[in-house]
């Protein structure tokens, strides 16, 4: 999973299936106290309505991650899109790779937030990777986990 402020890219390295869209969630009002998601990704940018608010959970002036709840809904949708029904049957392992706003490196709080985002969205395990962009054939979850010291 690669995250930019204006792009979210998830790649299933086994199948090659990709989710590559704007990290947006359109939320409309509340139903039983909970916000109702009406659109996600590129289609959220087109969502229009009197009570519709479009949120980018990866947009903040200082850091890359700004809204945990909306980010969780976005990631759940993206995982469901690329993994389909098998997402429910077997939780994936995820390498979270923030692609920008890395000046000075990520804080332990940011690393924990990204890791918990992935796990709360349905991942069995997650690791946060900082470094050069990985190619699909270079991704080995265990070796990356060992490399980052988790």
The parts of the chain modelled with pLDDT lower than 50 are: none
Q: What confidence score (pLDDT) does residue 90 get?
A: 73
Position 78 scores a pLDDT of 93
Q: Smallest Cα–Cα separation from 116: which of 59, 75, 83? A: 75
pLDDT at position 93 is 92
Residue with tokens 């997402």: 87
- Residue 21: partners with Cβ closer than 8 Å, 6 or more residues away: 7, 8, 41, 42, 78
For residue 144, the tally of other CB atoms under 10 A from its CB is: 19
Percent helix, percent strand, percent coil in the chain, to nearest 5: 35, 25, 40
* pLDDT in the model for residue 108: 93
Quick: pLDDT tens for 109-119.
Answer: 999 999 999 99
Domain of residue 83: give its range: 2-148
Mean pLDDT of the chain: 88
Q: How many domains does the chain have?
A: 1
CATH number at residue 25: 3.30.420.40
Ramachandran area for residue 26 (φ above 0: left; ψ -120 to 50: alpha; else beta): beta
Predicted model pTM: 0.86
Other residues' Cβ atoms within 10 Å of the Cβ of residue 22: 20
Q: What is the pLDDT of residues 116-146, one digit of tens each?
A: 999 999 999 999 999 888 877 777 777 777 7
């Amino acid at each position: 999973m690669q995250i930019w402020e204006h792009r979210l890219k998830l790649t299933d390295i086994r199948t090659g299936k990709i989710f590559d869209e704007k990290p947006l969630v359109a939320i409309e009002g509340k139903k039983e106290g909970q916000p109702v998601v009406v659109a996600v990704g590129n289609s959220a940018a087109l969502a229009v309505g009197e009570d519709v608010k479009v949120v980018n959970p990866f947009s903040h002036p200082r850091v890359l991650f700004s809204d945990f709840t909306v980010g969780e809904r976005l990631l759940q949708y993206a995982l469901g899109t690329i993994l389909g029904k098998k997402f429910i049957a077997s939780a994936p392992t995820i390498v979270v790779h923030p692609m920008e706003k890395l000046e000075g490196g990520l804080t332990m709080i940011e690393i924990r937030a990204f890791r918990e985002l992935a796990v709360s969205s349905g991942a069995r395990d997650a690791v946060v990777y900082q470094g050069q962009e990985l190619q699909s054939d270079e991704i080995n979850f265990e070796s990356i986990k060992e490399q980052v010291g988790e």
